[in-house]
Amino acid sequence: MRKPLAGSSIRGGAVAKRAKSEAQAESMLEVRDLAKYFDVSKPWLARMIERAPRQILKAVDGLAFDIKKGQTFSLVGESGCGKSTVAKLVVGLHKPSRGAIRFEGRDVADVRSRADSAALRRRWQMIFQDPYASLNPRWRVRDIIAEPIRVFGLIKSRGEQDEKVAALLRQVGLSPVDGEKYPHEFSGGQRQRISIARALSSNPEFLVCDEPTSALDVSVQAQILNLMKDLQNEFGLTYLFISHNLAVVYHLSDKIGVMYLGRLCEVAGSKELFARPQHPYTRLLLETIPDLEMTGREREPVAGEVPNPINPPSGCAFHPRCPFANDRCRSEIPLPTERAGHTVACHAAEEGRLPDAKFPAPKRPSAS
């Protein structure tokens, strides 16, 4: 266990440096063929009477990605594509239907003993979208923040614990006296700071953040995103970040995975993905980004809607909305393949019959 802290620094010992080079960085998390199916059938009796079959919803189906230490990997995609389900699988709130999750090379399913699993769980934490629902309204803020410390028995004496909570509150831009208050006395952005302080209290190395700023105003979102970057630079934290906001994801990520109906369409470095999107769905998503600089980009009208996940289209689930779909797309599920630094699951990309992306190279802010 790490030494308790002194002063305003949360962690003792050497400060980890953010790993910049992809090649030399070690993996924090490896996900292989991950799947989660939900049984959404009607109750047994109703099924018998209506002669309805069992219904399985494949929320996540065959996902694979790696997250390097000290980096931010983001998942983007529209509502219902399975982002939150991945987050819950990774932190152990859901049991996978199939596949493996490896933390520092070790399969988490193999971690059986209670001591081992507690030691592992201490090292990752999760931050949720709604900072109010995830904070117990009847507890004082200091007790909320100290909960992981108590659960994992990290600090024994009350005095040390108080010191640590005060340091955490300062770290997230609040004041130690705020520890005496209750969650309802804070604004949305302050509550999200409290949940970040709570998540940090067990000295985790890996944070899973599910839409942590989606409920916040942009000015407050900027405060939280800056805080997340500062914490990463200072402590070398690794993030799995989930959002439907492409600009936020561009700002924060080293690498991005685009999801559609439970599968990954494309995985690439953040700059690379926006500069040279490959998968037709990635291109569609990039088309929807509002053009704040109003450079007069012609927008393709984007047709269609996300289909029902209980009855997804055959073959490539994107085929009803895809301008490049052919017979193979309608019958065969495309598997992810490597192509020029992108992992893309698309027949047209694999066959080399995709036209070059129309999306312009990243825009520079106007000089004026």
Partner 1 sequence: MALLEVEDLRVEFPTRRGALLALDGVSLEINEGEVLGVVGESGAGKSLTGAAIIGLLEPPGRVTGGKIRLEGHRIDTLSYEEMRNIRGKKIGAIFQDPLTSLNPLYTIGRQLIETIRVHMDVSPEAARARAIELLGEVGIPAPERRIDSYPHEFSGGMRQRVVISLALCANPRLIIADEPTTALDVSIQAQIIALLKKLCREHKTAVMLITHDMGVIAETADRVAVMYAGRVAEIGPVKRVVKQPKHPYTVGLMGAIPMVGHDVERLTQIEGAMPRLNEIPPGCSFNPRCPKVFDKCRMERPELMPAGRNAEAACWQFDKGGRRG
Ligand X SMILES: Nc1ncnc2c1ncn2[C@@H]1O[C@H](COP(=O)(O)OP(=O)(O)OP(=O)(O)O)[C@@H](O)[C@H]1O
The footprint of ligand X (CB under 6 A) covers 38, 40, 57, 59, 77, 79-85, 244, 309
Nearer to ligand X, 84 or 201 (CB): 84
In which residue are the tokens 């983001």 written? 74
Contact partners, residue 75, CB within 8 Å, separation at least 6: 83, 86, 240, 241, 242, 243, 256, 257, 259
Give the tokens for residue 238: 């690794």
Q: Can you point out the beta strands (E) in the chain?
A: 27-39, 56-68, 72-76, 98-103, 106-107, 124-127, 206-210, 238-242, 255-260, 263-269, 337-339, 342-344
Which residues in 76-95 contact Mg ion (CB under 5 A)? 84
Burial of 319 (0-12, 13-18, 19+ CB in 10 A): buried
Count of residues that bind partner 1 according to CB under 8 A: 50
**239 binds ligand SF4, rule: CB under 6 A:** no
**Shortest Cβ 175–partner 1 spacing (Å):** 13
Nearer to ligand SF4, 299 or 353 (CB): 353
C-beta of residue 9 within 8 angstroms of C-beta of residue 167: yes
**322 binds ligand SF4, rule: CB under 6 A:** yes
**Shortest Cβ 83–Mg ion spacing (Å):** 5
Q: Could you say which of 131, 189, 309, 334 contacts ligand SF4 (CB under 6 A)?
A: 334
Burial of 210 (0-12, 13-18, 19+ CB in 10 A): buried
Cα Rg for the chain, rounded, in angstroms? 22
**Shortest Cβ 331–ligand SF4 spacing (Å):** 10
Tell me the per-residue interface mask from 177 to 196 with partner 1, x by CB under 8 A, - otherwise.
----------xxxx------
Q: Could you say which of 35, 274, 309, 348 contacts partner 1 (CB under 8 A)?
A: 274
Which residues in 21-40 contact partner 1 (CB under 8 A)? none
H or E element, residue 286: helix 280-287
Pick what 301 binds: Mg ion, ligand SF4, partner 1, none; C-beta below 5 to 8 Å, kind-dependent: partner 1
Pairing of strands 56-68, 27-39: antiparallel
Spatial CA neighbour of 269 closest among 10, 39, 72, 19? 72
Which window, 24-32, 118-126, 179-187, 324-332, contacts ligand SF4 (CB under 6 A)? 324-332
Residues in touch with partner 1 (CB under 8 A):
78-79, 187-190, 217-223, 225-226, 229, 244-248, 250-252, 274, 284-294, 299, 301-306, 361-366, 368
